[in-house]
Every structure is written in C-alpha cells, then in structure tokens.
C-alpha cells in the first residue's frame, strides 16, 4: 500500500481526535497528516506517530494535494467545505449527516456494503452511529433471510453529543456528589441519574430525526428499499458506547441457532453467550474497541418470524471514527 496524504477536518473534536488514534492503530501509511480546525485552534500541536503536528485553520485552500479527507464536523461545515475538497481531487469521507441520503453519495459500512464506496464521486458518507452498530448486529441474519422490519430502542451514551456531552455528565455527577444543583446546558434536562427519550430535532411525524435515520439510512446500506423501522432513541447517563435492543422480522423463520451462527461469523461482530458469566454485553465491555458485541438472541414471542437481540458498540470508534478509517483502508487496498 502506498503512502497517503490525509487531512482531518475537525481534528480537535472527540471524533477527530479518535480518527488520529485509529489511523495510527490501523497502521495506515501516511506521508503527510494535515489536521484542520477553526482559526482559534490553529497552531496547537497534536501527536501523530510520535511527532507533533500543528493544527491548521480550515480554508478552501487547505485540501490541495491530499488523497483523503476525513470529516469530523457538523453538517453545515461539511457542506461548506465539500466543494473545495472535491475540487482538490481528494476523496471526502464525511461523518456528518449532510450527504447520507444523497443518492449520488455512497453510504457505507465496509463489512456490509463496502463495494458501494468504489462508486464514489468524491464523497462517501459515514452512517449514523446507531445505524452502524444496529446493522452490524443484524447483517449476518439478513444474509439468511431479508429483514422486513425492525423495532428498535437505542440507549445512547453522552459521547454521542460530543465533548460537551461527556463534560456535562461528569460535571453533573460531581455536583450531585457534592450536594450541589447540577447545571444543564447541553441536554434538554439533567442527564445524570436520568434518561431522556428524545434525541435530535423533530422529524415531523412525532419521531425525531435521529429515530428516522435508522430506517432511511438502513434502506440504503442494506439495499432494502422496503425496510421498515420503528425506532425510539434514548439518551442515558453512560459516558461512551451505545446499546441497542432490536426486534426484527425476517422473510422466513430464522431459528435462534441459525441466527447465532450467522452473527458469530460476521466480520466485526462478537457473539456473547458466556462472557464473565453473562449472556449479554454492556457499554463498558465495548468501550475503546471496534467490535459490535451481540447477545440475548431469542425468539420474538409476538411474531413467529421474529427474533430479538441486544447489542453494544463504541459510538466514537465503530460508530464514527473507525468506520471512516475502515472506508479509507478499503479504498486504499483496492487502489
């Protein structure tokens, strides 16, 4: 594999920082790293392969000569810089929601639809974190029989709201321990010792945008335009790693034994049947690694063609940074 010139747009955020880490862990051959962020972060050093690399201000001229740009910014900033990235000739792997439903932009989880990335026109979209984790958990089952519908409930860590979400939970827990009133800034209400069953903005049908991503993105990734998903997204007082309960219906009856075998064989997934005496994973088990852990696979008692399972995955890694780096690696290996 040749060496590549790689930019990270949004290098100072939680996902951008994780991208730096994952690039090193995956031993991606990098001839030049260009960390990019706002003007106020310009000149701040970041460590990469044992060296200090200075953050540069992101401008329209920042992408010249790069082979890949990993995006770790919000959708508005992604749309702002995408034309300049395309003009530079770099492939933009974007973690925001800006291009996920654009029919001209592949939406990719490498283990599921990696070949779609080869059809890119300069931009590849990284799916929503919960979409990635959930689809990784059920992809093996879908190969046995197409999934017709899913009922999903997510239990999302505060890391999904970035550094501010992590900081707010830490500060609120400290305040409670000290007998003080927690301050609420990032979330709609106190998240410490609480759960919030509403994530993102309203979609217009009594669901939120976060909840509709599972269906809208899932259809594209699974090449299943008729897939139906009913999703409820809940923020929980967990620092990192999302958990998801999924009940699905397949075209034919898939037995629990078949499902377990398919899940165990799927790349990037770990089947949990007896882990430290448990038949299920937890967020702490799956933090700071890339596998999606799946457990509690059982028959759905309300549908003869249904199965129910529980899965956990690191939101910052497989749900964001690692998936983007894996897309880059997939392309580099086939260049």
| Model confidence pLDDT, tens digit, residues 159-207 | 999 889 999 999 999 999 999 999 999 999 999 999 999 999 999 999 9
Q: Show the tokens assigned to 231.
A: 């999703």
Q: Do 140 and 95 have their domain in common?
A: no
Structure tokens at 136: 């990784």
**pLDDT value of position 163:** 87
Per-residue model confidence (pLDDT) at position 54 = 97
Is residue 115 domain-shared with residue 135, that is, in the same domain? no
Mean pLDDT of the chain, nearest integer: 97
Cα distances from 252 to residues 136, 152, 193, 249, 299, in angstroms, run 20, 20, 42, 8, 13
Pairing of strands 292-299, 269-271: parallel
- Give yes or no: 223 in active site: no
| Residues 162 and 89 both lie in one domain | no
| Residue 242 a catalytic site member | yes
- Let me know whether 123 and 137 are in one domain: no
In angstroms, the CA 262 to CA 137 distance is 10
Q: What total number of domains does the chain contain?
A: 2
| CA dist., res. 335 & res. 315, Å (int) | 29
pLDDT for position 162: 87
For CA atoms 240, 107, 116, 79, give the dihedral sign.
Answer: negative
pTM for this model (two decimals):
0.96
Same-domain check for residues 212 and 310: yes
Both 50 and 162 in a single domain? no
Query: Is residue 315 within 8 Å of residue 160, measured between CB atoms?
Result: yes
**DSSP assignment of 232-285, as one string?**
EEEE-S-SS-EEEEEEEEESS---HHHHHHHHHHSTTEEE-SSBTTBSS--HHH
Predicted local distance difference test score (pLDDT) of residue 306? 98
Each residue's pLDDT tens digit, 20-43:
999 999 999 999 999 999 999 999
Pseudo-torsion of CA 122, 128, 129, 134, nearest 10°?
-110
**pLDDT of 326 over the 90 cut:** yes
The whole domain housing 146 covers: 131-315
The predicted structure's pLDDT at residue 76: 96
Residues 145 and 290 in one domain: yes
Q: Are 212 and 295 part of one and the same domain?
A: yes
Given 129, 231, 311, 312, the catalytic residue: 129
Averaged pLDDT for residues 270-281:
97
Tell me: pLDDT of 320 over 80: yes
In angstroms, how far apart are the furthest CA atoms of the chain?
Answer: 60
Q: In the chain, what percentage of residues exceed pLDDT 90?
A: 98
Assess whether pLDDT exceeds 90 at residue 315: yes
122 and 154 together in one domain: no
**Opening angle at CA 31, ends 30 and 35, nearest 5:** 70
Task: Look up the CATH number of the domain holding residue 54.
Answer: 3.40.50.720
d(CA 82, CA 88): 10
Q: Are residues 259 and 284 in the same domain?
A: yes
Catalytic annotation, pick one of 231, 233, 242, 312: 242
Three-state secondary structure call for residue 335: coil
Q: Judge if 135 and 272 occupy the same domain.
A: yes
Q: Do 168 and 123 fall within a single domain?
A: no
For residue range 111-164, list pLDDT tens digits in order: 999 999 999 999 999 999 999 999 999 999 999 999 999 999 999 999 999 889
Kind plus residue range of the DSSP H or E element containing 331: helix 322-333
Residue 316 has pLDDT above 80, yes or no: yes
Percent of the chain with pLDDT over 70: 100
**In contact, 172 and 179? CB cutoff 8 Å:** no
pLDDT (mean) for 254-279: 98
Q: Please check the confidence at residue 1 and state whether its pLDDT lies above 90.
A: no
Find the CATH number of the domain harbouring 151: 3.30.360.10
Q: Are strands 292-299 and 123-125 parallel, antiparallel or unpaired?
A: unpaired
């Amino acid at each position: 594999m040749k060496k590549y010139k790689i930019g990270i747009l949004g290098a100072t955020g939680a996902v951008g920082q994780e991208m730096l880490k994952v690039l090193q862990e995956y031993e991606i051959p990098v001839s030049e790293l260009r960390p990019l962020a706002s003007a106020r972060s310009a000149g701040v050093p970041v460590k990469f392969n044992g060296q200090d690399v200075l953050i540069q201000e992101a401008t329209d001229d920042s992408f010249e000569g790069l082979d890949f740009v990993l995006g770790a910014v919000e959708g508005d900033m992604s749309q702002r810089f995408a034309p300049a990235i395309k003009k530079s000739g770099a492939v933009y792997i974007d973690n925001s929601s800006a291009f996920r439903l654009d029919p001209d932009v592949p939406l990719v989880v490498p283990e599921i639809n990696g070949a779609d990335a080869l059809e890119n026109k300069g931009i590849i979209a990284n799916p929503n974190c919960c979409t990635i984790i959930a689809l990784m958990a059920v992809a093996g089952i879908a190969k046995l029989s197409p999934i017709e519908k899913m009922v999903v409930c997510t239990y999302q860590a505060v890391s999904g709201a970035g550094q501010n979400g992590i900081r707010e939970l830490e500060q609120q827990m400290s305040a409670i321990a000290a007998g003080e009133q927690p301050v609420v800034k990032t979330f709609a209400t106190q998240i410490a010792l609480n759960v919030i069953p509403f994530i993102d903005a309203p979609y217009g049908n009594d669901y939120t945008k976060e909840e509709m991503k599972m269906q809208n993105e899932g259809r594209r990734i699974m090449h299943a335009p008729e897939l139906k998903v009913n999703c409820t997204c809940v923020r929980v007082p967990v620092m990192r790693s999302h958990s998801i309960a999924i009940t699905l219906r397949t075209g034919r009856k898939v037995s629990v034994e078949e499902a377990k075998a398919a899940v165990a064989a799927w790349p990037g997934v770990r089947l949990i049947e007896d882990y430290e005496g448990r038949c299920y994973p937890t967020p702490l088990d799956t933090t700071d690694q890339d596998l999606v852990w799946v457990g509690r696979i059982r028959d759905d008692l309300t549908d003869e063609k249904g199965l129910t399972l529980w899965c956990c995955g690191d939101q910052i890694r497989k749900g964001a940074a690692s998936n983007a780096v894996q897309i880059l690696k997939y392309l580099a290996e086939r260049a």
